[in-house]
Amino acid sequence: MRLAALRQRNWLILHDVDSLCDAPGTHQIDPDLFTRDYWCERGLIVGEAPGRGSSLFLQATPTEQWVLRPYRRGGMAAKLSEKRYLWTGAERTRAFRELRLTAKLFEQGLPVPRPVASCVTHYGLTYEAALITVRIAGAKAFAELLVNDLADEALLKRVGAMIYSFHQAGLDHVDLNARNILIDPTGEPWLIDFDRCRLRSPGKWGKENLERLERSIKKFTEAPFMPIIYKGYRC
């Protein structure tokens, strides 16, 4: 994976050269690429994910779909500004940090979506941002499988083993929940959404990640699934 940065006027784009070169001439590296209007005008929006910011599913090439996710605030901060963040430098923006972290995890062979590009638009003391990653074909949220009682013991153990592999790599996933775990058509789990996540030395954060996941699972099912996930985690 080769990351390159572009800068013009008040915008900056960090992108994976190889991802955008797979379909030369199809899409220009430009801030418009990170807007709903760009994809809507071309009839290439194929779906939308639930949640804050409304991530869009895009038919980027005939054989590959992307996910466009704008950064949006939640809670009390959203009352001040839903999509503006304090500017402290390009490399400290949430978009650049998440793309670089996702690229690092991807290069280690961990099950994460391939990052495509991130865009930051700078407005004096603030900025707005968006991120594009490759969509995992045919994947469903772990939460959806829980609601429909489709998570068997083998899958739960694979989820535990997947989380363990990330913890071994030092990833503190600050929003580990059942919606941020995807299951592909072969039954393999993937992890997504690394906003505000970071690599750390071993510590109590690993236990806190799992406790957060447990609270999330309880929102979708009353079944005692965490002991089985822990079995996979400890294998």
What pLDDT is recorded for position 78? 43
What pLDDT is recorded for position 51? 62
What pLDDT is recorded for position 21? 60
What pLDDT is recorded for position 8? 87
Tens digits of residue pLDDT in 151-162: 999 999 999 999
What pLDDT is recorded for position 217? 97
- The span from the CA of 4 to the CA of 21, in Å, is 12
- Model's pTM, two decimal places? 0.92
Closest CA to 6 of 28, 21, 39, 23: 28
**Which of the following is catalytic: 22, 175, 184, 195?**
175
- The span from the CA of 163 to the CA of 229, in Å, is 9
> Helices 226-234 and 205-217 meet at what angle, rounded to 10?
150
What pLDDT is recorded for position 81? 63
Asked about 175 being catalytic, the answer comes back as yes
The low-confidence residues of the chain, meaning pLDDT below 50, are 24, 77-78
Give the DSSP letter of residue 4. E
What pLDDT is recorded for position 19? 76
CA triple 150-172-109, angle to 5 deg: 70
Distances (CA, A) of 136 to 114, 116, 181, 183: 9, 13, 11, 9
What pLDDT is recorded for position 130? 97
